[in-house]
Amino acid sequence: MKRLLAMVSLFVLSVTAHAETVSLVGVVDAGSTGSRLHVYMGKPAYKEISNKKINPGLATLDPTPEAVNAYLSKLFKDTPRKMSVYFYATAGMRLLPYDKQNKIYALVQDWFAKRNIKLVEVKTISGQEEGVFAWLAANKHLKSQGIKRQKPLAIMDMGGASVQVVFPVEQARNASDYININVDGEQKTLFVHSFLGLGRELVMNQMLEKNVCYSEGYPMPDKSLGQGDAYACSQKVSVLVNDVHEASKVVKPAVYAEETEKDWYVIGGLAYLAAEKPFKTSQNEFTPQQLLTQADSSLCHRPWLEVEDNYSSMYGLSSACLSASYYYALLSDGYGLYSHEPVHLMPNGSGMDWTMGVVLHKG
């Protein structure tokens, strides 16, 4: 036992000493439902060494020193101080008025200044920036796993308030949705579009009274009961996806402008859903049709009490029928993926996050 404790102590001291000599970069993802602090080794390792999440989202806080100071003290508790920090908020903050954002950011800057932690930048990043960071992170992760692709990498990042879709193209069609970046010394042009308001949480809030989107017998807010039908639900969500946000008008032309097939990967909410039963497969991939069919048979057209018994550990189980229908509508009706086109999950349950792209992009 003493020998084991000595070995553990030596390991901790070694890691601590190493952390003092390497360049550490902290990236805060201040999302719509919570904030996560990722700590990375910088060049040349580019490796995550820790991450920590707290709730609720930064955007929900009162812009007062008491609220912000307590929030940040909790987020940064027991983390290294000798690091450079990028503090980036996403869709939750994009929904706030600029004056409230600025008040919160001023308080964030004040907190860092008093603790002598190097704050490189604090701001609300655009959906386009978030998409580029996600693509860079995914590209790096797949290469590190030794995965060789014959097709261009296409990333779908599914957040709570916004969604991003990113893939390389040979030629830009218009200025607003395209960006040129350097990737490992090679210039690439990426199509990048973000839809604010099409994230899972915001879509769920707009479908609370759609009976067909909830399991049979689920108690609805208006006292009626769910009448689950994934196909009918996806059609209702499709109206929001295309008639309101015009996803098919924006993404489909870019997808089909070039005849090159793509390797589609998903991160965020859909990746978490697809990795759980009843959707989970051994192949680490699924098709939009499989997602919808499985949801319809296992979640939607099943009595709510039976669903509750079978999948009690699933996050957001009450809205799982709606979630799967929504993702199908977004992928197939919005982005134009074929119903039997493979969509891949990141390998090894990586937990890969767009924040790694910040470290890669900023150098």
Q: How much is the average pLDDT of 345-352?
A: 74
Tell me how far apart the alpha carbons of residues 235 and 328 are, in angstroms, rounded to a whole number: 10
pLDDT tens, residue by residue, 274-287: 999 999 988 889 99
Token couple for 89: 């908020």
Domains of the chain are: 23-125 (3.30.420.40), 148-352 (3.30.420.150)
Q: Does the predicted model carry a pTM greater than 0.85? A: yes
Q: Are 218 and 318 in contact (CB under 8 A)?
A: yes
Question: Concatenated DSSP letters for 80-100?
Answer: -SSSEEEEEE-HHHHTS-HHH
Q: Are 329 and 339 in contact (CB under 8 A)?
A: no
Tell me how far apart the alpha carbons of residues 317 and 306 are, in angstroms, rounded to a whole number: 12
Q: How much is the average pLDDT of 135-140?
A: 95
**Higher pLDDT among residues 46 and 194, named by residue:** 194
pLDDT at 14 over 50: no
pLDDT tens, residue by residue, 178-225: 999 999 889 999 999 999 999 999 999 999 999 999 999 999 999 999
Tell me how far apart the alpha carbons of residues 164 and 146 are, in angstroms, rounded to a whole number: 25
pLDDT at 125 over 60: yes
Write down the H helix ranges in the chain.
Answer: 2-21, 65-75, 91-94, 98-115, 127-144, 200-205, 230-238, 247-250, 252-256, 269-274, 288-295, 304-310, 320-328, 355-362
Task: Examine residue 253 and say whether the peptide bond preceding it is cis (omega within 30 degrees of 0).
Answer: no
